[in-house]
Amino acid sequence: MPKSDDRYLRLMSREAVAKARQFHRSFPQYSPTPLVRLDGMATRLGLGGLYVKDESYRFGLNAFKVLGGSFAMARYIAGALGKDVSETDYAYLTSEQLKKDFGQAAFFTATDGNHGRGVAWAANKLGQKATVHMPKGSAKSRFDNIAKEGAQVTIEEVNYDDCVRMAAAEAARTEHGVVIQDTAWEGYEEIPSWIMQGYGTMAAEAAEQMAVRPTHVFVQAGVGSLAGAVAGFFANLFPDDPPRFIVMEAQNADCHYRSALAGDGAPQTVGGDLRTIMAGLACGEPNPISWDILRNHADAFVSCPDWVSAKGMRMLAAPVKGDLAVTSGESGAVGMGLVSAIMEDSEYKELRSALGLDQNSRVLLFSTEGDTDPGHYRSIVWDGAYPAV
């Protein structure tokens, strides 16, 4: 693919991410999530090291998404008040003074579950309003978790991307309405950039916990904001010797993979129902901001059938003896399944060689969610749904 001028890479600078991390540290619920080192699994797969960032512990919400939504809300409020985000920490945002200074906004978003729950949770903590729209087929457990936070929540008969448009339209006709979405479009770029910076907290924690440079980073993409954030952060952290970045998508929503195949640098879209067990990755339209980072810095794009994620869930739940188990949901475990396939299946020998994956490789994965749909999680891990092919 042709490279761009890479103007969005600076969004994920070490300084920008440090501000987001400082904000998250102001929450009484904050603590770094674990980085699990799977030495036994690494040896079995022929790797030098395998590390999994376990986001099932994030703020008690079972997923990483709250990092982006909460930081974007703080940046929005800070901007409305003419303040720097460093002046709008958790104590101020939950104070009576904020009500006098700012009042209340109505935040709108679309979600498969995790992002909406994070926005609803943050709005609840900060005394704001939230309305959340979910695409058809969304799990009732995820709906219920959002509703418990006091948000207005609906499941619509449209896909995720149409839910985004619905949320944007409602925000536009609502007084003090604000869209908190991690995808961007013309005229809506600032808030998605802040969400990406919020995701940087997770990447910065992982880098600090590893204490050595990862040689390979596997990261999921729905709209691509997480992938762009992670790749952008590590590219800034190791500018002279960045890791190799492997971007993974659900096969039925592989807009970045198709964009890479097109080879002209322009983002491609995928329409339809986007059916996949990886609900958090069921997005057919790339965020143009994160896509710009990925087209410059990703080394591979991989389109993954559902069995890849299901196998990863089982491997993390029942790892090699001596390794810690990780409860990883459908959108969180695709990295484990993919690494296993690349390292163990002769069909992917060429890809393994091209990526330089061997006994000297230190591989970092992000388990972005736990069992956010407990019933479905058990059907896969306990009952063997979606067997490997």
**What is the set of active-site residues?**
65, 112
Cβ neighbours of residue 288 under 8 Å, at least 6 residues apart? 184, 185, 267
278: region left, alpha or beta (phi > 0 left; psi from -120 to 50 alpha): beta
As a whole number of angstroms, the distance between CA 122 and CA 116 comes to: 10
Of 32, 34, 33, 36, give the one whose Cα is nearest residue 325.
36
Q: Is 256 helix (H, G, I), strand (E, B) or coil?
A: helix
Task: State the Cα–Cα distance between residues 182 and 49, nearest whole angstrom.
Answer: 31
Cα 363 to chain centroid, rounded: 18
d(CA 260, CA 283): 16
Q: Is 269 helix (H, G, I), strand (E, B) or coil?
A: coil
Q: Give the span between the Cα atoms of 319 and 331, in whole angstroms.
A: 18
Q: Report yes or no: 161 and 184 within 8 Å, Cβ to Cβ.
A: no
Full DSSP string of 296-331: HH-SEEEEE-HHHHHHHHHHHHS-STTSPP----TT
In sequence order, what are the beta bridge partners of 363? 50, 216
Buried/exposed 74-111: b ≥16 CB within 10 Å, e otherwise = bbbbbeeeebebeebbbebbeeeebeeebeebbbbbbb
**Any alpha helices (H) in 211-305, and if so which ranges?**
225-237, 255-262, 288-297
CA-closest candidate to residue 229, choices 197, 274, 263, 271: 197
Taking the alpha carbons at both ends of the chain, their separation in whole angstroms is 31
